[in-house]
Amino acid sequence: MSLNLPFNDWRGKTAWLVGASSGIGLATATALHAQGARVFVSARNADALASFTRAHPGAVALALDVTDPVAVKAAAQTVLAAGPLDLLMYCAGYYKELRATDFDLKEMLTHVDVNYNGALYALDALLPAMLARKSGHISLISSVAGYAGLPKSLAYGPTKAALINLAETLYLDLHDSGIGVSLICPGFVETKLTAHNQFSMPALLTPEQAAEEILLGWRKGLFEIHFPKRFTRWVKALRLLPYGAYFAAVRKVTAL
């Protein structure tokens, strides 16, 4: 079911991807550029951004730390000064395995700062302009880890759950204002973040495959873009179980 205006033609469109120096963000920026979009890319890794712009004429790099609201606002002003923004994709992410038995407040707060607060800073910087134009699209990358509590996801999972709730509420609040909102919930994707996982990752995708799924979801006007379906549908079904059954199933599957 189409809940947003479909993106069928990216020529002449402007997209700002925050967290695009590697992984899904980089692959999606590459795909958008190939389809004719004007692409702004941001991340802390200035060298990686410069490499991207050299390989993709017309792309603009804006290095920033998403935990710095002043830097995010300055970059947003640069993007908006170049013309109307059609898409904000917040794909900055931080992940480290953590269990409650090894509780680490610093790690917990770092996840919140990068995964969630950074998205709020971007929204604060861009929403007024989108509301004034009554157009634009906001896309937030969450994760299937945000669907429900999972072992080793004490720090990461709650931030992704917060993004799910945020995207749902943004959609309800902004739909009548002409602003689209989409939620992206990948399963396992081969990135720097998942490279440290010491467990088997079912249905593992490449970043390029993830980018294909994302662009397909935008083209269909979807609200939630989740992939690969053979994995994400299983996780969604698991969450429908009563808590007793859910906890037992997760313990059995993870052996934790």
- pLDDT > 90: percent of the chain: 88
Residue 66 CA, chain-centre distance (Å), reads 13
**Mean pLDDT throughout 223-241?**
93
Q: Considering the domain boundaries, does residue 6 fall inside one?
A: no
Helix axes 243-254 and 229-239, enclosed angle (nearest 10) = 140
Q: Give the tens place of pLDDT for each residue, 11-68.
A: 999 999 999 999 999 999 999 999 999 999 999 999 999 999 999 999 999 999 999 9
Question: Rounded mean pLDDT of the chain?
Answer: 94
For residues 72 and 18, give the distance between their C-alpha atoms in angstroms, rounded to a whole number.
Answer: 9
CATH at residue 101 = 3.40.50.720
For 96, the token pair is 């480290």
Q: Which of 116, 147, 156, 171 is catalytic?
A: 156
Q: Considering the domain boundaries, does residue 156 fall inside one?
A: yes
Q: Considering the domain boundaries, does residue 231 fall inside one?
A: yes
Q: Considering the domain boundaries, does residue 2 fall inside one?
A: no
181 and 131 in contact (C-beta within 8 Å)? Answer: no
For residues 181 and 174, give the distance between their C-alpha atoms in angstroms, rounded to a whole number.
Answer: 8
Answer whether residue 167 shows pLDDT above 80.
yes
Residue 193 has what pLDDT? Answer: 65
Q: CA neighbours within 13 Å on the CB side: how many for 232?
A: 21
Residue 254 has what pLDDT? Answer: 84
3-state secondary structure of 227: strand
Q: Considering the domain boundaries, does residue 69 fall inside one?
A: yes
Could you tell me the CA-to-CA distances from 42 to 17, 24, 75, 138 in Å, in that order? 6, 13, 8, 16
145 and 160 in contact (C-beta within 8 Å)? Answer: yes
Residue 94 is among the residues annotated as catalytic for this protein? no
* Number of separate domains in the chain: 1
Residue 197 has what pLDDT? Answer: 59
Q: Considering the domain boundaries, does residue 8 fall inside one?
A: no
Q: Considering the domain boundaries, does residue 3 fall inside one?
A: no
Q: Which domain holds residue 73?
A: 14-254
Answer whether residue 202 shows pLDDT above 80.
no
Q: Considering the domain boundaries, does residue 163 fall inside one?
A: yes
Q: Give the tens place of pLDDT for each residue, 168-201.
A: 999 999 999 999 999 999 987 787 666 565 556 5
For residues 141 and 225, give the distance between their C-alpha atoms in angstroms, rounded to a whole number.
Answer: 9
